[in-house]
Amino acid sequence: MKTKLTKQLESTLYQYCLEQGAYVVEEVSMPAKKGIVDTLSYQLGPDNQVEWRCYELKVTKADFHSKAQLSFIGHYNYFVLPQALYEEVADEIPTQIGVLIYRPFDQQAVDLAPQPLRAPGFLTVAKKAQRQDLQVDETALTGHFVASLFREVDKAKRVKKGLQLYSDDQLFKALKKRAKVGYDIYQPDHNLYDRFVDDIQNEAITALQTELDARNAEYQALQLKYRALVHPDLEDQL
């Protein structure tokens, strides 16, 4: 599970890469069993040369010393760290690896911003990365990058379509499962199932009332027409 701070670093880095003119995606599996990089970006450098940049996000010292493989296979490779962690591990960072420092925006600045901020903080370059040769086949890397982009697009489309993707049977089973967890017999309005039933009943009552009002209006119109036929002298009153 990603911590709140990890998510803040991730969203800030995403915005940072966009501002650099890069295409970016998170959690990309590397070719040749080189692990999974936290964030991978693709951009064109000088003379339209492709530059691949790998970013590994760390928020604690234990996380920094994790045995998980570091996928620093790009032309430029970076750690993305909070300031406090960087001060603790600065001497352990290899010479060729760059460092971006995350700093959250001050709450007062957030409150005074004329429009919602696109990221919870900003990044500064504490240490520049040195260029290296790409450590994997570029065609294979491009394929993995595109596959990860497709994964994110597919995920977004699923979210947009929401519950349409699930069958009635799946939704019913999920509803029954939710109903069994922590059911409060004294406060039914706290239970998902009871709230669902109440909403359905209220919607049904509203729909029936709307239909009844429409039929009453139709009945009144027919009654007026009938009176006009039986009593022509009342026609001017319609």
- Cα 25 to Cα 14, 17, 39, 53: the distances in Å are 8, 10, 6, 11
Q: 43-71 pLDDT, tens per residue?
A: 998 888 999 999 999 999 999 999 888 99
Average pLDDT, stretch 209-227? 81
Q: Which residues are registered as beta bridge partners of 41?
A: 24, 53
Give the pLDDT score at 235.
Answer: 53
Residue whose tokens read 């007026």: 224
Show me where the domains of the chain are located. Answer: 4-155, 168-231
Residue 181 pLDDT class (50, 70, 90 cuts): low
Query: From CA 175, how far away is CA 192, in angstroms rounded?
Result: 8
Is residue 86's pLDDT more than 80? yes
Order the strands of the 36-44 sheet from edge to edge.
23-29, 36-44, 50-57, 76-82, 98-104, 121-127
Average pLDDT, stretch 75-94? 97
Which tops the pLDDT comparison, 64 or 164?
64
Q: Which residues are registered as beta bridge partners of 54?
A: 40, 77
The single-letter DSSP state of residue 42 is E
Within 8 A by CB and 6+ apart from 168, the residues are none
Within 8 A by CB and 6+ apart from 21, the residues are 43, 44
Q: 17-27 pLDDT, tens per residue?
A: 999 999 999 99
> Which has the minimum average pLDDT: 1-10, 33-42, 213-222?
213-222
Residue whose tokens read 């669902």: 196
Going by their DSSP bridges, the two strands 76-82 and 50-57 should be labelled as parallel
Q: 119-135 pLDDT, tens per residue?
A: 999 999 999 999 999 99
Q: Which residues are registered as beta bridge partners of 53?
A: 41, 76
Which tops the pLDDT comparison, 228 or 149?
149
SS3 label, residue 101: strand
The pLDDT mean for the chain works out to 86
